[in-house]
Structure 1
Amino acid sequence: MTNGPDLFSSDGPDQGLPGPGVGGSSADSGRALDPLAVRMRPRTIAEVVGQDHLTFPGSPLVQLVEASGGDRAGASSVILWGPPGVGKTTLAHVISHAPGRTFVELSAITAGVKDVRQVIENARRERDMYQRTTVLFLDEIHRFSKAQQDALLPAVENRLVVLVAATTENPSFSVISPLLSRSLLLTLRPLDDAAIADLLDRAVVSERGLAGQFELEPAAKDFIVRIAGADARRSLTILEAAAGIAAAQAEFAEAAASDDSVVDTDDDTDADDDDVADEGIEDPTESEDSADTDDSETSPAEGRAILITEAACAEASSETVLRYDKNGDQHYDVVSAFIKSIRGSDVDAALHYLARMIVAGEDPRFIARRVVISAAEDIGMADPQALPIAVAASTAVQNIGMPEGRIPLAEAVTYLAMAPKSNASYRALDAAIADVKNGFSGQVPTHLRDAHYPGAKELGHGEGYKYSHDHPHGVAAQEYLPETLRGKRYYEPTGNGMERSLGERLEMLQRLLRP
């Protein structure tokens, strides 16, 4: 799986055994070495958190989970759409646990049409020989080509397999329509802070988790909730790493205390020798009891939970990983918010989304292109300087690259966000294009036609044309639009910025053109 172990899936009855390293108890099975996020996977749909809109009693998902392998009612295939760490893989495993089902998992990154056909053939054998239904979990289905997705259609349509496909991308754009129409689309929501906090609390006390050997201070929990970005898997990964750091620090502190005790004992040996000679040999039983008492006070492993601090969590997380796939939904969401913030004149929001794109490694040339488009589309003639500034920023990015290229980008974004806004030119052109497409073209007026070639005058081309510079204000009273569009107005300037004065000039021009 490309996203690492999924928090919410379960592979079998011995999944969830705690590991011997950090929390939990030692176990013979290799499952004991699984990461905390794997050990804490929900095993039933009732344990899944944060998706109440999908897991309520009687929901299509619950019906699919509770149906037996031979049940023909309800949805046969589902597409799970949501960000990483919200439980897509979990639900696939939970669905597969119904009686009479066999679970098969493929990754769209490594699997091809041949692999899909092999699964379908095996599924047919399972059905015919053992009356078992195959649950095919296909991770990252958006990476499958059209041909690969087409190979799934017959098996899905005939219910030869129960397809559970997971994707972080919008299925409307990444899954072929025939497959989408044959599947139940379930949108998984990002986990809220309360759900992440609940998972952390469970992991600290559960025998499958840290087994009560650690205590998570409130500030540390708040830090993990904030840094995890609604990703349950990431939150438990940080918790496990922080527990390891806390355990190592506690062990080091215990060893240091023990060394200090040995030094103190050596320093006092000479003085103690005289006391021993006078008082005799100490009762061995009493000595052992004393030693046990000392250990219980200094060893964090003996009945005392190790405190996981915010500092340990910060060290464990080291750096926030932005959720931003340059080919995915998050990419387009951030870009959309960026453009809309400029259009909405919120300079701080625009700079925030610019920063997110830069930190995530977005191609600065892509950002520059979007800035140029925004200048033309959203500022337009309300501030004609916006476009040259945007183009200059784009040129600067091309010439100097990053990281310095961020500076002209910031200047351009700041200017555009604070500039007066108008899309009047943009709307005017779209209206003109609509007329042309709808057949409102008409003939070019004769007096405007090309008259430079031999024989043009005999056709009347150019006859009656008035040279604008020979008239007052450089405007000649004549018709320029085709006859079918005479008097048509496309450009309607706003009252924003420079367009206020342009509107006044437009009215004057109309009076001169059509007295």
Structure 2
Amino acid sequence: MERPLADRLRPESMEDIIGQKHILGKGKILNRIIESKFIPNMIFYGPPGVGKTTVANIIAEMTHKRFHRLNATTDSTKDIKEILSELNTFMGYEGILLYIDEIHHFPKRTQQILLEYMENGQITLIGSTTENPYFYVFKAILSRATVIEFKPLSNEEIIEGLLKVCHKLKKEENGLFVDFEKEALEIISNSSEGDLRKALNSLELIIKTTPSNKDKIIITGDLAKEFAQKNFSYDRDGDKHYDILSAFQKSIRGSDAEASILYLAMLIKAGDLTSIIRRLLVIASEDIGLAYPQAISIVKACTDSALQLGFPEAQIPLAQAVLLLATAPKSNSAVKAIGEALMDIDKTNIGEIPLHLKDGHYKGAEKLGRMQGYKYPHDYPHNYINQQYMPDNIKDKIYYNYGENKFEQSIKNYWKNIKK
């Protein structure tokens, strides 16, 4: 059976690897590790198709260790134990280099088996994962390993990878000449979402299903559109979910309407209505707050409409809510006020509630001094009378500081005039 193109023409040296200059460039962390030939335990973290397995294979070739490769989605604790049982039988090897693909799929107990052998140096572990290792990899392993993050490839790097593979195909015995229209390269690279393997799979599918003319294939834009279909990847429990939501809120907070709409579109593509609504309601109070108090009412109406409509029509009131929040004046005075108060409750002895504020609606309350001397504000001009409401221990504490926006400043001036 013929191996897939992406595997068959996998780079064999670090110089052939596309992208990852931030770790493989001269003087960068992985480049320095490889040049030193001291290979520590490492966790390769990043999306699929960006070179994690390729780099591990090349490192294995450079060491004097016995190389074993496991995949946590298909292998088990038994497979690890079989490898460990052979430790003393390897003549001429300086221990084991164990590469575990998708290590986050191994349960905690399976990961723990490796600890002793990592500690004494009998095993050098390179684990790869598409999930954030700080959430999914056992902490004791993380403390013994260096986490190295791989990035998605740029469109330019994807195109470079496609052209390199086509050059290799041409050099093979009975080689095939593959040429591209410029539009075709752009379409394939755009649809790959930074995943070179995905781009090469599209290339292979086109080559296998397109008749050649004298061992020559020209990949047109139309061919690329037909085969290189873009699928928006999204995992509601994974990093991408939280990264998009984080960017979504930060863009609205930063009053960038264009970025806010883009991240909303990503969430809509994922069909994640619940997360969108929850985040919009939080933003209305957390980031807009008292600068535009009506915002939360409008957002609630928009999100209720979205729930009743469902997708695809829900995208319209959601876009309305996002643009309203992104372009609204901002204030976090409410967040800061409640945060300070909660902190005092946790860390400060706030003391007793003043007696005149305590409940006095029961027999015997008067004997206990409850509600004595309380002044009813509505009996006074402007419905205000100066009296102590804070406990004695923190009676001068200020939690709420008026925001520098039109609404809050108008309220500040109103009370300044009343209270003087």
Note whether the superposition's TM-score is higher than 0.5.
yes
- Any idea what the Cα deviations from partners look like across 1:297-325, whole Å, max 9, x if unmatched? xxx226xx3211111111111x3122433
1:353-412 superposed Cα distances (whole Å, 9 cap, x missing partner): 111111133x21121111111111011111122112223334334444333333322222
Partner Cα separation in structure 2 for residue 66 and residue 343 of structure 1? 44
Q: Which runs of 4+ in 1 moved over 6 A?
A: 57-60
CA deviation vs aligned residue, 1:102-132 (integer Å, no higher than 9, x gap):
333323334444443333224x2444x5645
- In the alignment, the residues of structure 1 paired with residue 312 and residue 94 of structure 2 have an alpha-carbon distance, to the nearest angstrom, of 58
- Residue pairs, 1:63-102, within 5 angstroms: 74-98=38-62, 100-102=64-66
Give yes or no for the alignment of 1:190 onto 2:152.
yes
**Alignment counterpart, residue 276 of structure 2, candidates 367, 375, 387:** 367
Q: Which residue of 2 aligns with 1:405?
A: 314
Alignment equivalent of 2:15, drawn from 46, 52, 55: 46
Query: 1:345 and 2:255 equivalent?
Result: yes
CA separation of 1:508 and 1:121: change in aligned 2, threshold 3 A: farther
Distance 1:183 1:439 in 2: 41
1:430 is aligned, of 335, 339, 346, to 339
Query: What's 1:280 paired with?
Result: none
1:197 partner letter:
I
Distance (whole Å) between structure 2 residues aligned to residue 202 and residue 354 of structure 1: 36
Q: Distance in 1 between matches of 2:392 and 2:171?
A: 80
Please state if 1:477 is matched with 2:390: no
Equivalent pair of 1:86/1:189 in contact (CA under 8 Å): yes
* Cα gap change, 1:453 to 1:148, in 2 (>3 Å): farther
Where 2:367 maps in the other structure, the secondary structure is helix
What amino acid is the match of 1:184?
Answer: T
**Contact 1:142 1:171 (8 Å CA) reproduced:** yes
Q: Distance in 2 between matches of 1:469 and 1:209?
A: 91
Q: CA deviation at 1:445?
A: 0.8
Q: CA deviation at 1:440?
A: 4.2
1:132/1:488 CA distance change after superposition, 3 Å? closer
1:157-184 CA-to-partner distances (Å, cap 9, x unmatched) read: 1222221111123322332332112112
The 3-state SS of whatever aligns with 1:457 is coil
**Residues 116 and 401 (structure 1), Cα distance of their counterparts in 2 relative to 1, 3 Å cut:** farther
Partner of 1:284: none
* Residue aligned with 2:207, SS: helix
CA apart distance, 1:428: 0.9
Structure 2 counterparts to residues 294-313 of structure 1, below 5 A = 300-301=213-214, 305-313=216-224
Aligned match of 2:235: 325
Distance (whole Å) between structure 1 residues aligned to residue 328 and residue 343 of structure 2: 29
Contact 1:197–1:221 (CA under 8 A) maintained in structure 2: yes
The answer for the alignment partner of 2:98 in structure 1 is 136
C-alpha change, 1:414 and 1:306, in structure 2 (3 Å) is same
**Paired residue secondary structure (2:385):** coil
Q: What residue in structure 2 maps to residue 243 of structure 1?
A: 207
Is 1:334 the counterpart of 2:303? The answer is no
1:153 correspondence with 2:66: no
Identity of aligned residues (%): 37
> Match for 1:311: what amino acid?
D
User: 1:240-275 deviations in whole A, cap 9, x for unaligned?
Assistant: 223345x33x6xxxxxxxxxxxxxxxxxxxxxxxxx
Residue number among 62, 81, 85 corresponding to 1:117 in the alignment? 81
TM-score by length of 2: 0.90
Amino acid at match of 2:57: H
Shift of 1:422: 0.8
| Conserved 8 A contact 1:48-1:87 | yes
CA contact (8 A) 2:170 2:177 kept: no
Compare CA radii of gyration and give the structure with the larger one.
1
2:124 maps to 1:162: yes
Partner Cα distance (1:356, 1:59) in 2: 33
Which 5+ residue runs of structure 1 have no aligned equivalent? 1-29, 68-72, 251-299
The total of aligned residue pairs comes to: 418
- Partner Cα separation in structure 2 for residue 486 and residue 419 of structure 1: 35
Give me the CA root mean square deviation: 2.6
For 1:396 and 1:49, the matched residues in 2 are separated by 47
Query: Do 2:170 and 2:176's aligned partners in 1 also have CA atoms closer than 8 Å?
Result: no
- Per the alignment, residue 304 of structure 2 pairs with 395
Pair 186,459 (structure 1): closer, same or farther in 2 beyond 3 Å: same
Provide, for residues 294-352 of structure 1, a one-character-per-residue CA deviation record: whole Å limited to 9, x for no partner.
xxxxxx226xx3211111111111x3122433222222221111111111222222111
Structure 2 match to 1:495: 404
Kept after mapping to 1: 8 A contact 2:95/2:123: yes
What letter is aligned with 2:260?
A: A
User: What SS class does the counterpart of residue 495 from structure 1 fall into?
Assistant: coil
CA deviation string 1:210-260 (max 9, x = no partner): 834221122222332233222211221222223345x33x6xxxxxxxxxx
Where 2:62 maps in the other structure, the secondary structure is coil
Normalising by the residue count of structure 1, what TM-score does the alignment of the two structures yield? 0.75
Which of 364, 379, 382 in structure 2 is aligned with 1:455?
A: 364
